[in-house]
Structures are given as structure tokens and as C-alpha cells.
A and B are shown apart, each in its own frame.
Chain A
Amino acid sequence: MIFIGAEEIISPLGQNIEENFQAVCENRSGISLIPHAGFNDDSMHLSKITAISDRNKFEMLLINILEKVLKQIDPEIALSKKTITIVSSTKGDLDRNISSPFTDSINAFARHFQLANEPVVVSNACISGVLAINVAGNFIKAGMYDHAIVLGCDLISNFVLFGFQSLFAVSNAPCAPFDADRNGITLGEGCSAVVLSNSKEIFKKTAFQLYTGTSANDANHISGPSRTGEGLFRSVKKTLEQNHISGNEIDFISAHGTATVFNDEMEAIAFDRLEINEKPLNSLKGYFGHTLGAAGVIETAISMQMMRNNLLVKSLGFKESGTSKTLNIATENKSSELNTILKTASGFGGCNASLVIRKL
């Protein structure tokens, strides 16, 4: 069995998991209007961390988050040869060194904690976080490591913001996942961590069981979601089948929900094909923005907090159904027994990934 716990988040909503979850429970958003941020100097809605200076921000976030995590587990774990550290990120610190956006930050981070094994960076677009957790779980399942620390981190940069602007993919208002009026993403930055282990004894708080999932490619387009949701459909189907879990057992879906017209429609089609579209669902992008490579870890961490508190938090920004297939989107916070959750992600390159977490 693989255990997962010790979730942490640093984002505009707070410096630790408690502050972040508190903000989410109060339906507060980290998104604000930042003057002159965009290309052509336009003001942009962003979820930007202002409490940490921009210099070496990526490295500082990784160090800060692991320090917080170590308070939640047996700290010896971090130094063990049987522990692998996996960082999920799309762009690392590209303003520090565009030719090698991870090297300096990851080296400094590994030296700081004297990690026994060199960290592995999973850079697989917006599924990086979910994929990294699956990779970590598979390493443990195969007996290659006993423990894994998964850290998701991405920053807002001109590079990424101007890029999404050039695709006309940025919303002119805070993003509204699955809503009829959605018109694009809002970028966010954040850092999040979870710890995986073959032992539940290393965790100071209760851990959960992780059912590692699969990834699947749409084999359709590098930058447009599949019209049939094929990759997401296949990924979730396999994840459930391999773990002998039926769709009925899922209490809640933590969807990707970027708030682009085509992505959210694609997810609705995939969930409909999977016959799980009646399950309560939310997207957390309205709280954190789209944090790219960090998103899968942040959203898994919040989902674990939702399970700890048996509280289904509402999908911020959603008002009116705007997909061709109906979904059961959470419009209010609601007390609810949450035992089994499905987390999904989809991204550029046609990639999709999913995993399941269950209460012990």
C-alpha cells in the first residue's frame, strides 16, 4: 500500500496549508488585477505571490515548502538514500537561466537539504503535478524507493504570460471554470508538496491511501484539447480499472477546469463518457489561477484537506452551466462525507493524467 500525506502549499492565499485551506473555505481568491503586467502594458488578472521577492524565487519556494513538510514527517526521511525527490514544473526559473531553467535552483535546493539522491524534474506541461505523484507512487510500488517527496512549483513570468496572451487564451476577468461565460485562463504561481511512503508511521497527521493512476495521450493536437476527450477518458478508465475501483465509489472529482472554452468542454465530454458526470466536481483555478506544473500538486493537497474536513468546497467563478454535457459542479461549500476522490489533469502536448486518493 502507498500512503500519501504531509500536504503543504505556498500561494498568494497563504504561507502554509492551513492558511490556504482557510482561504479556500472562505471562498477567497488569490487573483487580483496587476497593473502593467501584460504585453503592451495592459493590466492583467494574476494570482501572484508578493510575499517573496522575485530573486531566486523558485529556489526559495522549494526550500521553504520542504522545511514546512519536514515538520509534518520524520525529518530523517529527507536525507535517506531510499527517498526520491521529484519536482514538477513547466518552466522552472527561466529568468535565472533560460538555457538551463532548472539546474541552478534544483542544485541549490538539493545542497541545502543534503539530499541523498539527485531530484528528478518531471516537465510534462499541465499534467506535471499529477504525473509526478504517479511516478513517485510507481517508484515506491516497484520497491526502488521507500519514500518520495513531490514538489510542484511554477512562477508567473513575462515569458509565460505573453505566450498565453499570444494565443488569446487569457481571460479578461478572473477565470470562471465551466461557466457559460468563461473565456480563458488566469495565470497563477504557487508551490505545493506531498509526501508518499510505503509506511504510514512517518506521517505525524493521518495519511491517505494513494492509488497511482495512468497517463494517456489524445494523439490529436499539440495545443488543442481533443473534441472527444479521448485521452482523459482513457486515462481515467485505466486508472479505475487498474485499481479495481468503480465510478460509483468516487465521492468527488477534482477536475482540471482551466476555464478555456475548449478544455472545459472536453472534460465535460470525457466525464460524461465515463458516466461519472453526476459526481460532485470542482475546479480550483478560481482560487489559485492556473499554476501549470504546480497545479496538480496544489489541487491534490486541497483535495486531501477537503477529505480531512469532510467539506466540499465550491468551484469559484462558476455561475451557469456552459458545457454541452451536464456536470455536477459545486456551487456552495457543503459538508459531505468524502472518502474517495479522483484527481485529473490535461495539458498541451495532448497529455492527460489521473489518480485516486482514499481515506484509510
Chain B
Amino acid sequence: MDSLKEDLKKHIIEQLNLEDLTVSDIDDDALLFSADGIGLDSIDALELIVLMEKYYGIQVTNPDEGKVAFLSINTMADYIEKKRA
């Protein structure tokens, strides 16, 4: 699970062009879409949908599902685990 979270952070940094951030800058439970987290927005949500398909083979077709799944690194990792199970 921890390596999944590490990988996820690496992919997010690459996919969202956040080169100035390192894996250690992103907390597992930080709210990604909050200004206190890393302040992602609806455009970044599009990138996360691309990321889910590209690296994990998961198609997020329901936007509401994405909203819940993309809250934090923890929720994204849970979501991936569940989809894989």
C-alpha cells in the first residue's frame, strides 16, 4: 500500500507537471483539491482521470465517483485497491 501511494504521488507530480514538488511534499491525507492541500482544480481532475487509466487501467466514467476517489492520496489508493480486488 505504501509503495502504491509513493507511485501515485510520483505519477501525480509527472502527470500534473508539478516538477517543483517532491513526493515528501504531499501528505497522504492532505485534501488535494483544497487550497491547504495542493490546490488542484477541475482541470487537474481531468489529468487524474487520464492518470488512472494510463497507470492503473481504471476507467473513471462517473464524475461523482471521481470526486470522492480523488479527495486525497489515501482515498485514491483505496479506490485503486478496491477496483483491483
Does B associate with A? yes
Q: A interface vs B, CB < 8 Å?
A: 166-168, 221, 223-224
**What size tier do the contact residues of chain B reach?**
under 10
A166 closest partner in B (C-beta): B46
Q: Compute the total of residue contacts between A and B using a CB distance below 8 Å.
A: 9
* Cross-chain pairs A/B with CB under 8 angstroms, 9 sampled: A166-B46, A167-B43, A167-B46, A168-B46, A221-B41, A223-B41, A223-B43, A224-B41, A224-B42
Q: B interface vs A, CB < 8 Å?
A: 41-43, 46
Residues of A within 8 A of B43 (CB): 167, 223
A223 to B41, CA, bound (A): 10
Residues of A within 8 A of B46 (CB): 166-168
Nearest-neighbour CB distance to chain A for B47, whole angstroms, equals 9
Residues of A within 8 A of B42 (CB): 224
A168 to B46, CA, bound (A): 9
Residues of B within 8 A of A168 (CB): 46
Nearest-neighbour CB distance to chain B for A119, whole angstroms, equals 33
A166 to B45, CA, bound (A): 12
A221 to B42, CA, bound (A): 11
Known contacts A168-B46, A223-B41, A223-B43; 6 additional CB pairs below 8 A are A166-B46, A167-B43, A167-B46, A221-B41, A224-B41, A224-B42
List the 4 shortest-distance A-B pairs measured between CB atoms, nearest first: A223-B43, A224-B42, A168-B46, A167-B43
A166 to B43, CA, bound (A): 9
Residues of B within 8 A of A166 (CB): 46
A178 to B84, CA, bound (A): 42
Residues of B within 8 A of A224 (CB): 41-42
Residues of B within 8 A of A167 (CB): 43, 46
A335 to B2, CA, bound (A): 70
A199 to B74, CA, bound (A): 67
Nearest-neighbour CB distance to chain B for A334, whole angstroms, equals 39
